[in-house]
């Protein structure tokens, strides 16, 4: 519940507290303007309105303990997930946090709203500058001329800093990183006519599905054969959520054409659209830039999980990042608003697929931790949170963005958050191989979690040839990713009524999410709980995956998708990760065996 609080309405015992010293300030965050943005001489008007969001710290250790308990298949409380109300109690702000931060904020403005562990303040630029001891400026993007009012550093009182997880918007510039790319494909007029709405010939038949056909292009049929779910008759008990950001709009008509061609018994099934933070649901969008990712995600999530309910969460807004050479288009996705919305819902999907990300170093540290904490809360609610690993191998620009330009591998966020299951990429069959662009590596933010420690240790001990040449470029103590993998190239997708091929781990994530939805469907049918946070179970059952031992990822060669990277990218000869026996930072544990997962 959202509760506006004015200072005059605070309980008497709060007002009676000895006033804290809010005069001693300390730096909270400082980041340079991203490459491609320049500060203009024109300052923003002091009266410009702005709404600041103050995220309060919570008991992270309590959340971690609870999440790992209910996700441990050997624990008596396995599957004992928290309700919305129960989780809110567990993750309530630290003692005195609300009172201390409120007292400070309301010394500047009475327009304050408390919403759980988030405090929102509506004020002017002048008031925000005084509150944060900073100066806002106007910045312009060199590519498209957009202007933003932002600050590069800000401070808070020393007594307040321990209670704050992050403050936004402050350094909210924009970044774009969709983990997919369109493969050039010539489609004849005859085939376009054959794929016209409601006139396509039904060609799919799971009963004669053929895994080798995945060597050419990837369809529902070949995935069903390859991963073993062709014979499963789902009941629709396990809901699926698909995350939509960056003005990506899933198209209803294209889904029906896709289903006609690839899953004819599902024709008429649709997805529900939920708007978050003003997100739109545009149909008949010109071009493919704003539909390719959304269509890929929703078509394969619906196609695999049918007859499950699928929800597409279209979220507006863009979060902060720190610049590096991998940032070229400058858009990003508003995780905080989206995750806060989800956690307020009484009922959540059993699995949520997200196909977006960026390198860790582009995201402020406080923002990284806050988002990962919220993702962990979803796991405690019983949601399997799936992220694509990324499409940059060990990295593209492969330089630090701290001013030193140190050559290094670039782990991905949120794929390296320990509370998500990240999905890398493969291609070919008999055998499947790691695909070159599949991101993987070791986090510089989170240490290796206990559930993964044995697998990562075995990788380092058994395959020194795979990592020793690059030991100075990555954090050997970090959380390893991806966790699993799946086909990631040449997916047949319908865009504006015509077939197109799309590749990337953006395809692997909804595919794997659909399979987990089928597993959850079976478990619910058997009276069991859904799987929830997957990783402790998956690392305990590597036999549920086909170990990928061929192929490798590659990167750090000065190019992205074959095109030179602007700036001064680092060249690290031979950079990449081999697919090896056991877990590896190219394909994780491997690709899923549905029948084994279903019967765990």
Instruction: Find the length of the chain.
Output: 600
The DSSP result for 196-225, as a single string, is STTT------GGG--GGGGGT-B-HHHHHH
CB atoms < 10 A from the CB of 597, how many? 24
Q: Which residues make Cβ contacts (< 8 Å) with residue 355, sequence separation at least 6? A: 178, 179, 180, 243, 293, 296, 297, 387, 388, 504, 505, 506, 507, 509, 510
C-alpha 541 chain-centroid distance: 24
Alpha-carbon gap, residue 532 to 89, rounded angstroms: 20
402 is in an annotated binding site: no
> Does 297 participate in catalysis according to the annotation?
yes
Tokens at 252, concatenated: 């209803």
Dihedral sign for Cα 355, 359, 360, 366, please.
Answer: negative
CA–CA separation, 55 and 169 (whole Å): 11
Alpha carbons 549 and 510: distance in angstroms, whole number: 23
Please, are residues 316 and 308 in contact by the beta-carbon 8 Å criterion?
no
CA distances from 286 to 185, 236, 244 (A): 19, 33, 18
Known binding residue 111? Answer is no
Annotated catalytic residue 506? yes
Could you give the CA distance from residue 423 to residue 515 in angstroms, rounded to a whole number? Answer: 12
Residues linked to residue 487 through DSSP beta bridges, in sequence order: 426
Out of 353, 359, 384, 506, which one is annotated catalytic? 506
Distance CA(358)–CA(175), nearest Å, equals 8
Per annotation, catalytic residue among 103, 127, 129, 293: 293
Q: Token pair for residue 311?
A: 């929800």
> Are the C-beta atoms of residues 150 and 124 closer than 8 Å to each other?
no
In terms of Cβ atoms closer than 10 Å to its own Cβ (0-12, 13-18, 19+), residue 108 is middle
Q: Is there a catalytic annotation at residue 326? A: no
Helices (H), 381-497: 450-462, 464-467
Residue 241 labelled as part of a binding site: no
Show the DSSP H helices in 306-353 as ranges: 335-343
The answer to whether the CB of 521 falls within 8 A of the CB of 248 is no
Residue keyed to tokens 């001693």: 24
Q: Which residues pair with 491 in a beta bridge?
A: 218, 502
On whether 50 is known to bind a ligand per the annotation, the reply is no
Q: How far apart are CA 552 and CA 563, in angstroms?
A: 20
Q: List the catalytic residue out of 29, 247, 297, 391.
A: 297
Roughly what angle, to the nearest 10 degrees, separates helices 220-227 and 292-305? 50
- Cα angle for residues 364, 365, 367 (degrees, 5° grid): 65
The residues carrying an active-site annotation are 293, 297, 506
Binding region = 547-548, 582, 584
Binding region for Ca(2+) = 547-548, 582, 584
């Amino acid at each position: 519940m959202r509760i506006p609080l004015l200072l005059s309405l605070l309980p008497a015992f709060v007002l009676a507290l000895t006033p804290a010293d809010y005069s001693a300030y300390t730096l909270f965050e400082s980041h340079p303007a991203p490459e491609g943005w320049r500060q203009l001489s024109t300052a923003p008007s002091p009266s410009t309105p702005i709404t600041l969001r103050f995220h309060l710290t919570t008991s992270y250790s309590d959340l971690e303990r609870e999440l790992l308990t209910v996700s441990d298949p050997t624990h008596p409380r396995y599957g004992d997930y928290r309700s919305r109300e129960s989780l809110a109690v567990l993750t309530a702000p630290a003692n005195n946090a609300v009172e201390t931060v409120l007292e400070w904020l309301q010394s500047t403005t009475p327009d304050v709203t408390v919403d759980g562990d988030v405090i929102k303040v509506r004020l002017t630029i002048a008031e925000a500058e005084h509150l944060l001891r900073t100066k806002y400026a106007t910045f312009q993007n060199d590519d498209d001329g957009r202007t933003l009012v932002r600050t590069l550093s800000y401070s808070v009182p020393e007594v307040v800093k321990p209670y704050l997880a992050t403050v936004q918007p402050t350094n909210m510039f924009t970044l774009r990183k969709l983990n997919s790319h369109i493969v050039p494909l010539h489609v004849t007029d005859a085939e376009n006519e054959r794929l016209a709405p409601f006139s396509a010939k039904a060609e799919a038949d799971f009963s004669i599905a053929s895994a080798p056909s995945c060597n050419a292009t990837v369809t529902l049929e070949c995935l069903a054969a390859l991963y073993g779910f062709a014979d499963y008759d789902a009941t629709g008990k396990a809901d699926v959520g698909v995350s939509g950001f960056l003005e990506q709009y899933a198209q209803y008509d294209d889904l029906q054409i896709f289903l006609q061609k690839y899953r004819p018994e599902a024709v008429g099934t649709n997805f529900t659209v939920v708007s978050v933070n003003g997100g739109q649901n545009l149909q008949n969008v010109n071009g493919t830039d704003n539909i390719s990712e959304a269509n890929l995600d929703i078509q394969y999530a619906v196609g695999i999980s049918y007859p499950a309910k699928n929800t597409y969460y279209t979220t507006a807004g863009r979060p902060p990042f720190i610049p590096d050479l991998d940032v070229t288009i400058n858009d990003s996705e508003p995780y905080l608003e989206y995750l806060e919305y989800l956690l307020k819902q009484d009922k959540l999907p059993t699995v949520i697929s997200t196909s977006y990300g960026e390198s860790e170093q582009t995201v402020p540290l406080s923002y990284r931790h806050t988002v990962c904490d919220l993702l962990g809360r979803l796991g405690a609610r019983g949601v399997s949170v799936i992220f694509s690993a990324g499409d940059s191998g060990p990295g593209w620009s492969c330089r630090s963005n701290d001013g030193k330009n140190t050559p290094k591998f670039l782990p991905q966020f949120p794929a390296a958050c320990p509370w998500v299951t990240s999905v890398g990429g493969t291609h070919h069959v008999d055998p499947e191989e790691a695909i070159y662009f599949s991101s993987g590596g070791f986090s510089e933010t989170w240490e290796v979690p206990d559930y993964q420690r044995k697998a990562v240790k075995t990788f380092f001990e058994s395959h020194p040839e795979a990592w020793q040449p690059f030991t100075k470029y990555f954090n050997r103590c970090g959380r390893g990713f991806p966790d699993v993998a799946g086909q990631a190239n040449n997916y047949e997708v319908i865009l504006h009524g015509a077939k197109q091929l799309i590749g990337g781990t953006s395809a692997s994530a909804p595919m794997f999410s659909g399979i987990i939805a089928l597993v959850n469907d079976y478990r619910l049918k058997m009276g069991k709980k859904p799987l929830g946070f997957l990783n402790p179970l998956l690392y305990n059952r590597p036999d549920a995956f086909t170990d990928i031992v061929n192929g490798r990822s590659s990167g750090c060669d000065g190019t992205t998708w074959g095109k030179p990277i602007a700036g001064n990218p680092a060249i690290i000869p031979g950079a990449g990760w081999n697919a090896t026996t056991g877990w590896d930072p190219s394909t994780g544990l491997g690709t899923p065996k549905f029948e084994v997962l279903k019967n765990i």
